[in-house]
Structure 1
Amino acid sequence: MDNRQKVTIKDVAREAGCGIATASRVLNKSGPASPEVRARVETAAQDLGFSFSALGRALQGGRSMTIGCLVPSLANPVFAEAVQGVQETLAGTGYQLLIASSNYDGEADNEAIATLAAKEVDGLIVTMVAPERSAALKQARQRGLPVSLMFHDPIDGFLTAHVDNFEAAREVARRFADLGHRQTAFLALRFSTSDRSRNRYAGFHAGCRARGMPDPALIELGEAEANTPELLAAILAAHQGLTAIFASNDFLAIAVQKAARLMGKSVPRDLSVVGFDGIEIGRLLDVPLATIETAPDAMGRQAAQTLLDMMQGNPGVQRPPLPFDFRAGATLAPPRTKSRDDDQVRPRPPSVHSLKTDLKQG
């Protein structure tokens, strides 16, 4: 018989010379303890052969020991890194993660939440279209299911791990203004269903006004335009005079660079581009992307720790936003003053009409 299976948290506490609650906080990483006490508890658990999964069974008896995690997409490295951060925090707690994705669809969000709740998960970590309007999430919370959000700005009634999207976007406006840009635009996908995108536009708009710049154009894209450089080029060609574009995420910013080439423009000589998220591939481009750099893995770790705290009965507290950095890259430069010979040196950008005609013929 494996005697380790008979070791309890009470045995660990007795060996360490502390209370059961203190031992559980240390081993479950769910509360404070002095370095000395932490060392005694961890040593006692190791000497006695007490596993963290055994702790989970002792603390959470009768529960499923699973946590549901819903994100819009695992193809987007931002959300994949956040899920990795969640897993890092849950490692050693005895909890297993059940992952679902919704492809940015509100109905799929509700279906995923309902499915995870039906599997009797002990808590939820979610990024979704509109958590404050989700009927399935409301029902789950009415059943007493703890919920921790990721990426969302603070919403009444929810705790969230997030960056300050408004302030980060104001920083982009400042960078544009300091270089002399005035004709700018915000490029967005799923603008109506993403609180992150809307708050970034609001911050960018406020930042432009504070710097005495004209209001930025808001360019909303559908999936086809975002994924087809030729269509995106046609849309951008309709906005004459732009010298700088702030894209709501890095993938859109990368797409803008391809569309600019199709228009006969050079980044950043003719058009500056800034993204948001700081995905690693942006560093590897021929022209490295300027972007707001965040830490999705840290966001996942914070969301998971918040959920663990709630499941231990600790009062939930909204934590401050996580930090962001501006990564300069090489896609941001002062606006170019057009010379008299430009039209002879460079090909004239195609008009919207000619681009659409080419697409139809192609």
Structure 2
Amino acid sequence: MTHKSAITIKDVAQAAGCGVATASRVLNNSGSASADVRERVETAARDLGFSFSAIGRALQSRRSMTIGCLVPSLANPVFAEAVQGVQAELQGSGYQLLISCSNYDEAADDAALEMLLSKDTDALIATMVAPERSAALQLAGRRGIPVALMFHDPMEGFVTSYVDNVEAAREVARQFARLGHRRTGFLALRFSTSDRSRNRYAGFLAECRAGGLPDPALIEIGEAEARQPDRLAVILGQHPGLTAIFASNDFLAIALQNAARLLGWRVPQDMSVAGFDGIEIGRLLEVPLATIETSPEAMGRQAARLLLERLQGGAPVQPPALSFHFRAGATLAPPTPGKGDDGRVAAQPPSAPPAETAQQG
């Protein structure tokens, strides 16, 4: 048996058959746990000689009891829900969350992480432009500070909580092909600075080629076009032959529908649209959005669990991808005969007031 002086909350959790965060909630008498789990944790703590005072010493010794969290934006509900998941998982652990936003800027990413490190945070959770190039993350590694990424596909040197962007995008291509679409497009915002967007395009492209379809058109836009439907309509009007477009996130998919309306194109009769993320507002539209539905809250919870396990002496272990599913919505339909390649031409879009900002996912 482990020597009493070396007992940690991880030992208690393993003996009780639960996670570290759950054991912490029980021993701190904070947060919910079933009667069965509570009894197992308390029994394991007694058998191992692990007391509440021991957990206090284990958690507080040479630690600030803070975890830094960096996301691109809280205006995008995808990231807001992930942060809520982190907070929910940390409840009862004794750790407080310090949150920073970078507005999708690589330099701001590093500046924010350097600020969080200056606060002596015990661990970091991050969604960034380019974690593989981040000097601040390298500094965290040299200091032995645990890091968990969110939304990023796995990359060497980091653990990450993620959805398989490539496979999810393949599913969108399969849905388009099933309905008979051949001329498709991929709409991306800040394509060069989002590994998520690039991986989604890569999966979409690969599945189109696997199905013998033409390569999808890559339509890259900037913030101005994403915010203003009339400007996006001008770009969309340059692709009159496309019958289905996959937007790299739901906000872009909604902006795309607004732009199509300015051109007099109906969704889905004249153009099918699919997004990515599954934000709730997509269900509430007059034409509910077809999208890849994920669980950002579960992603945040998983990232927090990874850090709590590291903070209790566990080794970094990359978990498998979280689940996703395709939500059919009402923005998909077979291409209308006579439309698309032969029957639709670009229209002159009327002027329109700026719309709600499209957020990068």
Deviations 1:193-248 (A, max 9, x none): 10000000000000111111100000001000011100000001001211000000
Contact 2:68/2:125 (<8 A) preserved: yes
Larger helix share, 1 or 2: 1
Specify the SS of the correspondent of 1:220: strand
**Aligned equivalents of 1:349 and 1:21: distance in 2?**
64
Q: Give 1:172 shift.
A: 0.4
Q: Give 1:282 shift.
A: 0.2
Q: Give the aligned partner of residue 306 of structure 2.
A: 306
Contact 1:265/1:349 (<8 A) preserved: no
Q: Give 1:32 shift.
A: 9.8
Q: Give 1:59 shift.
A: 3.1
Give the fraction of aligned pairs with identical amino acids, expressed as a percent: 68
Specify the SS of the correspondent of 2:20: coil
Q: Give the aligned partner of residue 159 of structure 1.
A: 159
Contact 1:56/1:93 (<8 A) preserved: no
Q: Give 1:19 shift.
A: 8.7
Contact 1:182/1:214 (<8 A) preserved: yes
Q: Give the aligned partner of residue 272 of structure 1.
A: 272
Deviating 4+ runs (over 4 angstroms): 18-21, 24-28, 35-38, 43-46, 50-54
**Aligned equivalents of 2:214 and 2:84: distance in 1?**
41
Q: Give the aligned partner of residue 61 of structure 1.
A: 61
Q: Give 1:42 shift.
A: 3.5
Contact 2:163/2:323 (<8 A) preserved: yes
| 1:256 and 2:246 matched | no
Specify the SS of the correspondent of 1:67: strand
Gaps of 5+ in 2: 24-34, 353-361
**Aligned equivalents of 2:133 and 2:345: distance in 1?**
44
Contact 1:186/1:248 (<8 A) preserved: yes
- 1:216-231 aligned at under 5 Å gives the runs 216-231=216-231
Contact 1:24/1:55 (<8 A) preserved: no
Q: Give 1:55 shift.
A: 2.8
Q: Give 1:38 shift.
A: 5.2
Q: Give the aligned partner of residue 72 of structure 1.
A: 72
Cα distance change of structure 1 residues 155 and 283 upon mapping to structure 2, 3 Å threshold: same
- 1:15-34 aligned at under 5 Å gives the runs 22-23=11-12, 29-30=19-20
**Aligned equivalents of 2:125 and 2:155: distance in 1?**
15
Q: How many residues align structurally?
A: 332
**Aligned equivalents of 2:274 and 2:218: distance in 1?**
15
Cα distance change of structure 1 residues 31 and 112 upon mapping to structure 2, 3 Å threshold: closer
Q: Give the aligned partner of residue 13 of structure 1.
A: none
Q: Give 1:308 shift.
A: 1.0
**Aligned equivalents of 2:185 and 2:331: distance in 1?**
15
Q: Give the aligned partner of residue 182 of structure 1.
A: 182
Q: Give the aligned partner of residue 5 of structure 1.
A: none
The CA RMSD measured in Å over matched residues stands at: 3.0
Higher RCO (Cα < 8 Å, 6 or more apart): 2
**Aligned equivalents of 1:268 and 1:41: distance in 2?**
54
Q: Give the aligned partner of residue 103 of structure 1.
A: 103
Q: Give 1:338 shift.
A: 1.7
Gaps of 5+ in 1: 1-9, 11-17
Give 2:20's aligned amino acid: S
Normalised by the length of structure 2, the TM-score is 0.85
Contact 2:154/2:160 (<8 A) preserved: yes
Greater C-alpha radius of gyration = 1
Q: Give the aligned partner of residue 337 of structure 2.
A: 337
Specify the SS of the correspondent of 1:149: strand
- 1:6-45 aligned at under 5 Å gives the runs 22-23=11-12, 29-30=19-20, 39-42=39-42
Q: Give 1:161 shift.
A: 0.4
- 1:312-327 aligned at under 5 Å gives the runs 312-327=312-327
Cα distance change of structure 1 residues 309 and 225 upon mapping to structure 2, 3 Å threshold: same
Q: Give the aligned partner of residue 114 of structure 2.
A: 114
